[in-house]
Amino acid sequence: MKTLVCTKPGEFKYATREIPQLQPGQAVIKIKRIGICGTDLHAFEGTQPYFEYPRILGHELSGELIAFDDAPGFEIGESVTFIPYFYCGKCIACRNGKQNACVNIKVCGVHQDGGMAEYYAVPSYSLVHGEGLSFDALALIEPLAIGAHGVKKAGITKDEFVLVIGAGPIGLGTMEFARIAGAKVIALDVNSERLRFCKEKLKVEHVINATDPDVIAQLKYITNDDMPTVVIDATGNLKAINNAFQYMAHGARYVLIGLQKGEICFSHPEFHKREATLMSSRNATREDFEHVVSSMKNKLVDPTTYITHRVSFDQVKDEFEGWLNPARGVIKAMVEIV
């Protein structure tokens, strides 16, 4: 089978390897769609934490189930996706039901080779039923589940003002699930085209350009001088993360979905006087995946909205670097394997 390997930052190479053979407790999927996410882009840039080269990227995947062991309820030929965070089942996190934060976690395409390949083997416990959704939709469940998990961590209540920083695919999904939770969503980004996408496609009422000199004044105006009670970062940008501490209401919760390599820095007195809460949100759980599937089936989320670029597997090597250019207007690039 053909694979695409990121051999080092800035370099891809097509290669071949044997089609995976069925092993006990595993399933084999014929890959049909590969969504390109920020993790893939950061790995190509050389800025992704927890990463080593060479690596086959890709964890936003869907395809046809062609073989499995120990997967009750699944059928050969079924359309599936899977939860790409492979856990040990034994550590403190797993024993407490937090497999998404397993001490020994192996994230597909990060800690081990991913699914930029024609076939891919996964643990059977990770399989997710297709539920009649398209291959495109199934490949987008994982990034949307990331946002859904962050929203769940925030514990949003109806009519809260929720500031989501970053209007990339993860941020956009976060906005959608904050809306579904009943929030009044505010989008903050430096890219005016992304902000227009928020208003026109996702119907986000309030958008602010982070380069404006009066961001705090705009937040005060929108929230009737209260400031947002939930702030969620989906940028992974150190400056954006540090700036956001000043956007919190007293008693606010700040959830970090975005990830970067540096150290967070903030004023302890300012944080303390707010009695604020700081949380990280890592990956997603099966419950989050099921919430996304249900939301798609009930037409609360339209996954096709996010797909702005589409290429064949043979074109990825030549097209990938261009997706890093903001001028290309990429929200979600989708790779098709026939």
pLDDT tens digits along 203-256: 999 999 999 999 999 999 999 999 999 999 999 899 999 999 999 999 999 999
| pTM, two decimal places | 0.94
Q: pLDDT tens across 68-86, in order?
A: 999 999 999 999 999 999 9
What's the confidence (pLDDT) of residue 46?
Answer: 87
pLDDT at 259: 87
Residue 301: pLDDT over 80:
yes
Averaged pLDDT for residues 93-117: 96
CA nearest neighbour of 202 among 122, 301, 111, 307 = 301
Distance CA 217, CA 183 (A): 20
For the stretch 122-181, pLDDT in tens is 999 999 999 999 999 999 999 999 999 999 999 999 999 999 999 999 999 999 999 999
Q: Which residues contact 148 (CB under 8 A, 6 or more apart)?
A: 173, 177, 284, 288, 291, 292, 295
Predicted confidence (pLDDT) per residue in 308-337, tens digit: 999 999 999 999 999 999 889 999 999 999
- The 10s digit of each residue's pLDDT in 187-208 is 999 999 999 999 999 999 999 9
Closest by CA position to 303, among listed 154, 162, 145, 93: 145
171 in Cβ contact with 198 (< 8 Å): no
- How confident is the model at residue 42, as a pLDDT? 86
- The per-residue pLDDT for 264 is 94
CB distance 14 to 42 below 8 Å = no
pLDDT, position 286? 97
**The amino acid at 227:** M
| Interval 26-48: pLDDT, tens | 999 999 999 999 889 989 998 87
| Per-residue pLDDT, 338 | 84
Q: What is the pLDDT of residue 121?
A: 98
Name 82's Cβ contacts closer than 8 Å, sequence gap at least 6: 27, 29, 61, 122, 126, 127, 128
36 pairs with which residues across the strands? 333
Can you give the pLDDT at residue 200? 94
According to the model, what pLDDT value does residue 47 have? 80
Nearest to 166 by CA among 89, 51, 244: 244
What number is the average pLDDT over the span 257-279? 94
In this prediction, residue 38 carries a pLDDT of 85
- At 39 the pLDDT is 85
pLDDT value at position 260? 84
**Euclidean distance between the first and the last CA atom of the chain, given in angstroms as a whole number:** 13
pLDDT score, position 106:
95
Q: Are strands 85-86 and 106-107 parallel, antiparallel or unpaired?
A: antiparallel
Integer angstrom CA distances of residue 294 from 130, 141, 150, 175, 280 = 11, 10, 17, 17, 25
> What is the rounded distance in angstroms from the CA atom of residue 143 to the CA atom of residue 170?
6
Question: Average of pLDDT values for 57-66?
Answer: 97
